[in-house]
Amino acid sequence: MPRRSSLKVGISGIRGIVGETLTPQLVTTFSEAFGTFVGPGSVIVGRDTRLSGEMMKNAVFAGLLAVGCKPIDVGISPVPSILIKTNRTDAVGAIAITASHNPVQWNALKFVGGNGLFLNRYEAQELLDTYHQSEFALVETDAHKAVARDDDPVREHFAAVLSYLDVETIRKRNFKVVFDSCNGAGSTFTPRFLEMLGCEVVGINNVPDGLFPRNPEPKPENITQLCETVKAEQADIGFAQDADADRLAIVDEQGRAIGEELTVSLAVKHVLSRKRGPVVVNLSTTAIVDRIAEEFDCPVIRTRIGEVNVAEAMIAHRAVIGGEGNGGVMVPAIHPCRDSFVGMGIVLQSLAENGNTVSELVAELPRCFMVKETVDCSTEVAHSAMTSLRKKHMRDAQVDTRDGLKITYPDGSWIHIRPSNTEAVMRLAAESPSAEKARDLTRRFTEEISSLC
């Protein structure tokens, strides 16, 4: 029997295990609903390298064609490239076929508006209503369009990033870079991008065959091969991406993973040193960002989890930089989306301008200790568990209930607990100036949540 918990429907689109709850019929029907939602016009369709991607893509085409849309097949493509292409062409929307950091048996549809942003929760609800009502704008045979193809999905994306960077300064350093794309969407495009920046490139796990050699989430425990290769190659830096190439993790010149939170921290410091302005991050992102912003007398705005929440706040507040602590750097001057390529470029430019090593850049950042944990919890139980947690801890220090429960203590320590948007788990992130306090907060709340789930 299919497990209900393996299908997630929400602000992040629809995501599930292929062959269990994520079927061609479901994909086609959701694509019909999306085509009805955005109306007739061109819809960009791209995917990561998962083996199920070709099946999913053809099911998407069927749904879009049925309601009079013209699919533009961009093939295997980084998600930020899909978003930027949508924004800079006449497309009425896009569908990205990727389960991002999830294991290979998962896949997903991520829905994009004509502005190149993922649907927000109101738009996602409208799409979901269209799906449930099943009143699709089906067209007669003579209104069916042909599928078109675009063989250079990164053209607009890379042009925008390169125009933002000081390319000549980066090229003069002739960095030696090791990259690990997890055989995902970045496999083909990352070496091309780094070579544009004059880098000597060493690739591992860069065959776009969808056979992931590691867990796609670029957390320190999953990128040990990259750490070893950076050290063996005596490289200046290592970069790791997830399967759809929107998240970036960094390894320093000594072969040490610095943690995804510091990807955004390094980008924020570099950008604010050149242009001051608001910073937007989500509730789970490290407080190091706040301390960096204080140095430049810049405000920090925090949002609910979800890329579109950060993106819309960046636009509303005219932010100059932001992102999410999972390695998602967002630069609105290019496009307000998570983008591993602009993250790579910013860090390389910072190294080039300052003449530092990665470890020296990290040593200049304020110091905090973060612990992240997950607890298995079905979608059905998560809501009642969160209600219990809020009731019990509402009077604990400073409480924020916009997205789950975030408790901030007088010493600057905090913990954020929320149901995942993409998996049947509760996510915990705790941070403190004290490593012991961060571990203690995580342990205490993990035990409590386990008893509720």
Which pLDDT band, with edges at 50, 70 and 90, does 393 fall under? confident
pLDDT value of residue 453:
87
**Mean pLDDT value across residues 241-253:** 97
Q: Which of 2-11, 371-380, 427-436 has the highest mean pLDDT?
A: 427-436
pLDDT greater than 70 at residue 141: yes
List the single range of 237-246, 422-431, 437-446 with lowest mean pLDDT: 422-431
Q: Are 283 and 406 in contact (CB under 8 A)?
A: yes
**Mean pLDDT value across residues 117-144:** 94
**Mean pLDDT value across residues 240-262:** 97
Domain 369-452 annotated CATH 2.40.110.10? no
Structure tokens at 435: 């490593």
**Mean pLDDT value across residues 175-189:** 97
Give dist(CA 26, CA 128) in Å, integer. Answer: 12
Which pLDDT band, with edges at 50, 70 and 90, does 356 fall under? very high
Residues assigned a catalytic role: 100
pLDDT value of residue 5:
52
Give the relative orientation of helices 121-133 and 24-38 as an angle to the nearest 10 degrees.
110
- CATH 3.40.120.10 in the chain is located at 4-154, 171-363
Give the relative orientation of helices 260-274 and 288-295 as an angle to the nearest 10 degrees.
10
**Mean pLDDT value across residues 169-190:** 97
pLDDT value of residue 193:
98
**4-21 as b/e, with b when 16 or more CB fall inside 10 Å?**
ebbbbbbbbbbbbbbeeb
- CATH 3.30.310.50 in the chain is located at 369-452
Q: What is the pLDDT of residues 45-89, one digit of tens each?
A: 999 999 999 999 999 999 999 999 999 999 999 999 999 999 999
**Mean pLDDT value across residues 435-451:** 94
Question: Which residues have a Cβ under 8 Å from the Cβ of 169 and sit 6 or more positions away?
Answer: 349, 352, 353
**Mean pLDDT value across residues 190-206:** 98
Question: Quick one: DSSP state of residue 95?
Answer: E
pLDDT greater than 70 at residue 255: yes
Question: Which CATH superfamily, name and number, covers 4-154?
Answer: Alpha-D-Glucose-1,6-Bisphosphate, subunit A, domain 3 (3.40.120.10)
Q: What is the pLDDT of residues 406-418, one digit of tens each?
A: 999 999 999 999 9
pLDDT value of residue 2:
37
**Mean pLDDT value across residues 221-228:** 97
pLDDT greater than 70 at residue 227: yes
pLDDT value of residue 4:
43
Question: Quick one: DSSP state of residue 103?
Answer: -
Check residues 218 and 101 and name the one with the higher pLDDT: 218
CATH dotted code for 171-363 = 3.40.120.10
pLDDT value of residue 3:
43
Which pLDDT band, with edges at 50, 70 and 90, does 312 fall under? very high
Which pLDDT band, with edges at 50, 70 and 90, does 10 fall under? confident
pLDDT greater than 80 at residue 296: yes
**Mean pLDDT value across residues 402-429:** 91
pLDDT value of residue 9:
82
